[in-house]
Amino acid sequence: MYYRNVIFTALPLALSACSQAPAAEATQRIALDQVRQSSDQTLASPDTTRAVWTVSASGKAINFGNRGADPLLTLDCRLEERANPQLAVIRHAPAFPGQTAIFAVMGNGYVARLPADATLADGEWRWETSLPAVDRQWNLFIGAGDMRATLPGKGAVMIPADPIPGEFVTWCRAGGQSAPVATPAPPPTPTSG
């Protein structure tokens, strides 16, 4: 009988504790179509038939884009440590905090799949990858071939063949020092015969 009274006395206490669940957190309703529109922003591939490479005002980056318009792509040499310079490729396309993607760049016999992060810089959220300048993946910018840089949902940037990106990568790898200009070999002297 004693155990029975203890059980009946403890049971109401246990049941009252169960009914005191923590307060539900405030919820907010959002329309899913609005979320998709704000986060996806799928872009068409830009027209780059008249795009060119230009040197930035700092002299430590080159921009690819149409004249008079914002750049589409930037190569940025970061020389904070001259012994180990970093090279970044920046795709100027809308990004949101915390987003990541694989930025596929092909050219000159190379295919690089660069992990890109949404980065806030210069007043814009953009896509950025930074690696040591000596990384072999940057070799895709060196050569005489066309290049293609594709970011999922942000279109493909077609980059026509140009020696400027290769020269820039070489300059950055040298710690921002000018490479010595090779002296051309003298022409062969004619032989009398």
pLDDT digits (tens, 9 = 90+) for 153-168: 999 999 999 999 999 9
- The reported pTM is 0.70
Q: Are strands 147-150 and 61-66 parallel, antiparallel or unpaired?
A: unpaired
Span 34-59, pLDDT tens digits: 333 344 568 889 999 999 999 999 99
Fold (CATH) for 43-173: Immunoglobulin-like (2.60.40)
Q: 17-21, 77-81, 116-120, 180-184 — which one is most confidently predicted on average?
A: 116-120
**Residue 63 pLDDT exceeds 90:** yes
**Distance (Å, whole) CA 129 – CA 100:** 10
Q: What is the pLDDT of residue 83?
A: 85
**Distance (Å, whole) CA 7 – CA 139:** 78
Q: Where are the domains of the chain?
A: 43-173
